[in-house]
Structure 1
Amino acid sequence: MRRVHDRRQGIYTIGIAARLLGLHEHTLRFYEDEGLIQPQRDPKSNRRLYSEQDLQWIQCIRELIHHAGLTAKGIRRLLDLVPCWQIKHCPEEQWRTCAPNLNIPNMAMPADVAVSLTGAEAESKKRVRRRKKRKETKPLEVELIYGVREFDAIMPCMKCVKAERLLRKIAQRLGGKINIIKREVDSPDVERYGIVLTPAIVINGEMVAMGSVPSESELERFIRERLASAG
């Protein structure tokens, strides 16, 4: 009788898994440190062993980071709320036969969860009101939170590059009325915003975009409205 291979069985060492995925070993260790992957361990050597399902899930992680703009921490936070197929919008026929989620808690549990940013929004509005009372005359602060972690560095995503290009064009037209501040997504100054998607745009402490890039006209309207209210 032909033996059926168990796709959940760990068979690939970290070096082989990295080569098959086209990644560096540091990246796989980083995903493990972030709680996104839990490879098996060889009982004798304690070496990491990755299964075919692990490799499939790592490919999903890469898509969420590089195409959806999620950070590793953002993926982990969302997985505590919803299964991966809801984040990726996978069709039912795909996620019902996709099983790399067996080692990730809550991922196989269907749920309709709305991620609320109410607390962060309320705090942002308070900061805006305080600035209005002080009648600040300094340039409008526009923070661009960008990047996805790659190995030990933060790399800008395509949407992050687009957002910066639009902001620079608008700043040039407004002639020094805004101050663009770039912050890496892992920066301590960014934690208070609770960002799970990049790029994010924050104007004078108020988040106006997260995970998507507004059109140039819409972004300029946001900025002009806040310039008018600050003046």
Structure 2
Amino acid sequence: MRLHNSGWLLLSVINGASFCNSLHFCNSLFIISGGEIHISKDWRINEEIRAREIRLVGEEGEQVGIIPLKQAQDMALEKNLDLVEIAPSAQPPVCRLMDYGKFKFEQNKREKDARKKQKVISIKEVKMRPNIEDHDFQVKAKNARKFLSAGDKVKVTIMFRGREITHADLGQKLSLKFIEELADISNVEKAPKVEGRNMTTVLIPKLDTDKDKDKKTKEEA
């Protein structure tokens, strides 16, 4: 399927290193990211290409050599592929045979799949009073553990009423107890702090590397 230029084209680098080294121009002409080449939307394809001669790269990444543009365009038509000018400033310009539509489709699919796999981290809040009963405390801790296991942050809020705020030390002790209860699965992102009539703490899920370190420390103890 032959298409006109639009958007970005993603190319796998096939024999890219040796090809670039032999031509000495790739670093200035290609936008390289993560082992892939991005082709600018401003570069030409098919009938938009103006050079009389081009250096052609085949659909499998093989070097065809320097040939007349018309011959390369005929090859693209014969194979039902697109001719894409991937290095316009080279002498002669470098073009490649490819199925532009297929590459665009695969690129969009990869980007869509990547977005699905991305974890959106949310902040869950656990609220309690400074005089909370032990059973209720354990329920709150269990809920927080569930949130952390799912990869979410947890905001722990100790709510004071009336003159209870004058005994902020009770909230501090309760916050530290909560932190200790979940120390095996979380790290403290924000230490206990009084904000208005509340005391807040933020816990984040512990990374696997942190868990391994804790396990090793316990084994050595």
For the superposition of Structure 1 and Structure 2, which TM-score range results when normalised by the shorter chain?
under 0.3
Higher helix share: 1
- Name the TM-score, length of structure 1 as normaliser: 0.25
Please identify the structure whose Cα radius of gyration is greater: 2
Higher strand share: 2
Greater relative contact order (Cα < 8 A, sep 6+): 1
